[in-house]
Amino acid sequence: MTYDRVQVATYYIALFAARTDAYAIWSDKGWRAVREELTPTVVIRAFEDRRPVSGYTAGPDNLTHVAALDVDLEDGLTIATKVARVMWAHGAPAFVERSRRGAHVWSILDARLPAIVVRRGLRAFLHLAEIAPDPKIELRPGADRLGNEGLGFALRMPMMSHPATGKRYPLCSPESGDPIGQSLSEILLAFEQAPADAFALAAEQWKPTVDPRSIPSSYRRPRARDDDGPTVVELLGRTGITAVPGRAVKCPFHDDRHPSLSVARDERRVFCKSPSCEAHNAGRGLGSNQLAALIARSRVA
């Protein structure tokens, strides 16, 4: 059976876009949000003109069926393959797409779940694969929930040309490393969706914890307290991470025109992505030791 381009593009959108009322398109100035319908015509032109589009990975209702990892590391393909294999082993089919500096992992659920559940599921699979959190391993959806009228985070849709190189990469099996099809229509037909229950179960079982051994003894109890109040380890579990940094630090620490501080709530980490930022060690983020010190100084009770 053969399929025309509109049919293929329609199914492609249904798989890889969590919302169709907006998309992002590559221009000379970088990615630009377009608040118009993501139609088959837009996708067909993107493939023909080698001008990629990105799909938004969470809907305005904060639900999604799109789960992806953007691994922007030198050994990103190895990491992506390892995580995808773990996902298959736990009943969540996932496929790997090489990128210029790393790789993407794509897993499409057969039902929509809250973005926070999908993100926790992805974090669980990373943990099971023994991959440590890293600011260059980005989860999609990129946030637990959208702000008012926000679009959230987009990701270049699979098999689109890379904006820097113009190269296209197929979706591949993490087991064999081979493409799962020779054409776009073959790949889409071979793409196996993941049961939403597999993500929900992984999210439920994953419990983010802080290892007390990773925190210096001098930080295990706020220095300003002499009573038997809560320890910093306890505060890490009690206090919302988003409530802490603003009390103790201001960003940027450097001569940037735009703030570069971001908070990964489920990782309990604070990141500054500016390569010129000495305070955050070239974007690698505040580790548990520095974070403990932050909380201690802020005297959150």
Residues 219 and 144 in one domain: no
Residues 192 and 250 in one domain: no
> In the structure encoding, which two tokens stand for residue 174, read together?
């993490």
Residues 255 and 143 in one domain: no
Looking at residue 272, what is its pLDDT?
A: 58
Q: How many domains does the chain have?
A: 2
Average pLDDT over residues 106-126: 96
* Residue 58 to residue 139: CA distance in whole angstroms: 12
Residues 118 and 53 in one domain: yes
CATH number at residue 160: 3.90.920.20
Q: Is residue 59 a contact partner of residue 70, using CB atoms and an 8 Å limit?
A: no
Residues 241 and 156 in one domain: no
Residues 144 and 44 in one domain: yes
Q: Is residue 69 a contact partner of residue 83, using CB atoms and an 8 Å limit?
A: yes
Residues 177 and 244 in one domain: no
Residues 19 and 145 in one domain: yes
The domain in which residue 79 lies consists of 5-204
Q: Is residue 140 a contact partner of residue 151, using CB atoms and an 8 Å limit?
A: no
Average pLDDT, the chain: 79
Residues 226 and 105 in one domain: no
3-state secondary structure of 132: coil
Q: Which of 188, 204, 220 is the last residue of a domain?
A: 204
Looking at residue 69, what is its pLDDT?
A: 97
Q: Is residue 209 a contact partner of residue 123, using CB atoms and an 8 Å limit?
A: no
Q: Which of 204, 223, 257 is the last residue of a domain?
A: 204
Q: Which of 187, 204, 221 is the last residue of a domain?
A: 204
Higher pLDDT, 163 or 78: 78
Looking at residue 182, what is its pLDDT?
A: 93
Looking at residue 187, what is its pLDDT?
A: 95
Strand segments, DSSP code E, in the chain are 23-27, 30-34, 53-56, 63-71, 95-98, 103-114, 137-140, 154-156, 171-172, 261-264, 269-272
Confidence of residue 290 (pLDDT cuts 50, 70, 90): low
CB atoms within 10 A of CB 198: 20
Residues 170 and 231 in one domain: no
Residues 133 and 249 in one domain: no
Residues 35 and 126 in one domain: yes
**The model scores a pTM over 0.85:** no
The continuous run of DSSP H or E covering 123 comes out as helix 115-128
